Amino acid sequence: MSGTDTIERLLGARFAERAVEASPVADPGPAILARVDHLHRRRRRRAMAGAGTAVVVAAALVALVLGARHQGTNVRVANDTTTTTAPGCAVSSTCEPGRVDVVVVGQLPPTYSPTSGTGPVQPPGQHVVVLTFTSSRRPVHTIGTSTRVLTVRVTTSSTSDADAFESQVADWTEVRVGIHPARATRVVVGAGTPAQSRVSYLQVRLSPTVTLSLVGEDLTTDQLIEVALSITVR
């Protein structure tokens, strides 16, 4: 038997074994079917209104609760209100149909300890800003157990010393967006480019909670950070 035959035999066995292991979670059929009628009705409504095919008019409900925790700055988006809970931090948001713009100005914790608390342990010299969004509204695009698909645009800039911030943020190496930090979609952004031009378009499924982590190296602990998030519901 040739080496190629052996490989093919191994692959066949491996794939078959893997397929048996894959057990789809409880059949989401009823859930997806329940959405069918809704989707059709919405499509008809859109056609009648001449709204085209790509626009989902979903007034996003926004609220921000900013809290500086040991691992970073946490923001919760729940309702159409804005709340600031941490001294030295400010949050603003705008809300239009189908779009949520969130601007967060937070301060990295002055005594960040990479090994304390329950947050993700980061190597020394790294800091994480965690933004957690919670939508109180059922996603329009819910289908089965999945959730809505959003486009998230992430930009970073500074409100204090722009030059210093830019040089520090130039070392930011990754942006994660996802349902849970461990399962987040990670996008590697190029190092050395100006923070203002650092724009990442990400496809995420926005579950009730989405966490966005910005991991930066060599950030000073008193650096003011502005993170602008633009979320467009499609």
Interface ranges with another protein (CB under 8 A): 3-4, 7-8, 10-12, 14-16, 18-19, 21-25, 27-29, 32-34, 36-37, 39-40, 43, 141, 143-146, 149, 173-174, 183, 185-186, 188, 205
**Minimum distance between the CB of residue 175 and another protein, rounded to whole angstroms?**
12
Tokens for 49, please give them. 């209104």
Q: Which residue has tokens 């800003």? A: 129
Pairing mode, if any, of strands 148-157 and 224-233?
antiparallel
**Minimum distance between the CB of residue 22 and another protein, rounded to whole angstroms?**
3
Identity of the residue, 202 or 227, whose beta carbon is nearer to another protein in the bound complex? 202
Identity of the residue, 205 or 232, whose beta carbon is nearer to another protein in the bound complex? 205
Give the type of residue at 83: T
Identity of the residue, 28 or 98, whose beta carbon is nearer to another protein in the bound complex? 28
**Minimum distance between the CB of residue 24 and another protein, rounded to whole angstroms?**
4
Identity of the residue, 84 or 209, whose beta carbon is nearer to another protein in the bound complex? 209
Angle at 60 between CA 144 and CA 70, to 5 degrees: 90
Look at phi and psi of residue 72 and say left if phi exceeds 0, alpha if psi is from -120 to 50, else beta.
Answer: left
225 in helix, strand or coil? strand
**Minimum distance between the CB of residue 143 and another protein, rounded to whole angstroms?**
5
Following DSSP, what letter does each residue of 199-232 receive, concatenated?
Answer: -EEEEEEE-SEEEEEEEEES--TT-EEEEEEEEE
